[in-house]
Amino acid sequence: MTDPTSPRTTRTSSAHRPPSATRTPPGTTAGALRFRGPVLPDGESRDLYVVDGRVTYEPVASAELVAEGWVVPGLVDAHCHIGLDAHGAVPPDVQEQQAITDRDAGALLLRDCGSAADTSWVHDRDDLPRLIRAGRHLARPRRYIRNFAHEIEPEELPAYVAQEAERGDGWVKIVGDWIEREAGDLTPSWTRESLDAAMRTAHEHGARVTAHVFGEAALPDLIGSGIDCIEHGTGLSLDLIEQMVAHDVALVPTVKQLDNFPNYAEAGRARFPAYADHMLALHRTRREVIGAAYDAGVPIYAGTDAGGVLPHGLIGQEVMELATYGLSPRDALGAASWRARSWLGLDDNLAEGTTADFVVFDSNPLEDLTVLGRPSRIVLRGAVVG
């Protein structure tokens, strides 16, 4: 299967390519690694071997025992921003450190939900997480964070969606709502006509579309136009949740980020009191709304929203916070591991012969999610990186 993390940029730097295996006697493999313990999600206790960067369960007599513990398919941050800080694009050395910070927290697959920087070079680094880029945010003029987005009008949306679909790795990110100054509150950014055309364009280019949405008013047109994912989603209602289930629309609620709503409200209160009150109301009902989406069967995935306000490396905390919204520990962890990997196109999940991307923990994370903050070994593309 073609690696979905880099469908348009399959390059491997020779400086970071794993060394070729040398010929060895039958029953032995040079450099083979062994890990022992329950392998999630099924929890069966097994000996897992890594040979030439791939998983095998066939015994290798010469394999070095590296670690014993609970083995979890590589963690996923399904909403982060490599290449951004609060002021816009950051240089490559900062991008690198952001990626390393996520990797060292066990996040080995990142869906970058919009960046003003070109981070495609990350695809060439075998020691950095797999990266799925959504290109640059698409927003209305003066209705998003300065220096983050292409700021365009609704009639331009389909053309820019096509552009970012070509530049990215199978995703496009639009800003569904933001403060409209005359209204003094969150309002939808796009017309239904422009959204219908944008979704058709993205899907014709083989890309999926996701949208930042805090409030209620933008959601009916976004979901009705055929969007693939909603970010945040604090304005969802029961009827819209039913539509999401019917059309398999995913939700990445970024629950750690939702804790910042009171700060956003107070920062905007002097100029936009209606917005401030609205954000506080959304904050008060956030657990009820996200919990209702989970109970109804909306596919939910874990994303930290790192790279703007929040730092990188928070995926363990995001999973723990998701569990406080009513998700079972298994569903909360799956939202940042095996289920998220499958959703993003990596149906590997430590099957025989697949690339060895996994994290080992000393104790069972399904019994104590706090262990996610203490990985004992991190294996990326078959190499122990932590």
Does residue 209 surpass a pLDDT of 60?
A: yes
pLDDT value of residue 31: 84
Residue 340 has pLDDT above 80, yes or no: yes
- Tokens 């995913």 — which residue? 250
Task: State the pLDDT confidence band at 349, using cuts at 50, 70 and 90.
Answer: confident
Query: Is the pLDDT at 220 greater than 50, yes or no?
Result: yes
For residue 178 the two structure tokens come to: 């933001």
Q: 34 pairs with which residues across the strands? A: 49, 65
Domains and CATH numbers, the chain: 18-73+348-384 (2.30.40.10), 75-343 (3.20.20.140)
Q: 119 near 131, Cβ under 8 Å? A: yes
pLDDT at 286 over 70: yes
Dihedral, 327, 102, 259, 215 alpha carbons, nearest 10 = -80
Q: Which of 211, 295, 299, 310 is nearest to 255 (CA)?
A: 310
> 167: part of which helix (H) or strand (E)?
helix 157-167
How far is Cα 142 from Cα 347, in angstroms, rounded to an integer? 40
The answer, yes or no, to whether residue 355 has pLDDT greater than 70, is yes
Mean of per-residue pLDDT scores for the chain: 92
Mean pLDDT check: name the lowest of 15-19, 120-124, 274-278. Answer: 15-19
**Residue 370, both tokens:** 């706090």
The pLDDT, as a whole number, for residue 348 is: 78
Share of the chain above pLDDT 90, in %: 90
pLDDT tens, position by position, 20-69: 323 333 333 448 999 999 999 999 999 999 999 999 999 999 999 999 99
Instruction: Tell me what pLDDT residue 308 has.
Output: 84
| Distance of alpha carbon 329 from alpha carbon 335, whole angstroms | 10
Cα gap 160→337, rounded to integer Å = 31
Is pLDDT at 1 greater than 50 in this prediction?
no
Which pLDDT score is estimated for 16?
Answer: 29
Give me the pLDDT at residue 25, please.
34
Can you tell me the distance from the alpha carbon of 156 to that of 198, in angstroms, rounded to the nearest whole number? 9
Would you say 333 and 321 are in contact if contact means Cβ atoms under 8 Å apart? Answer: no
Structure tokens belonging to residue 158: 């389909």
Question: Tokens 């998701």 sit at which residue?
Answer: 322
Band of the pLDDT at 246, cuts 50, 70, 90?
Answer: very high
Q: Is the pTM of this model over 0.85?
A: yes
Which phi and psi angles does 319 have, rounded to 5°? -65, -45
What is the structure's pLDDT at 384? 97
pLDDT of 359 over the 70 cut:
yes
Over the stretch 89-148, which tens digit does the pLDDT of each residue have? 999 999 999 999 999 999 999 999 999 999 999 999 999 999 999 999 999 999 999 999
From the list 105, 104, 98, 101, the residue with the least C-alpha distance to 81 is 98
**What's the mean pLDDT in 163-181?**
97
What's the pLDDT band for 305 if we cut at 50, 70, 90? very high
> What's the rounded Cα separation, in Å, for the pair 36 and 69?
6
Q: Which of 2-6, 245-249, 260-264, 335-339 has the lowest mean pLDDT?
A: 2-6
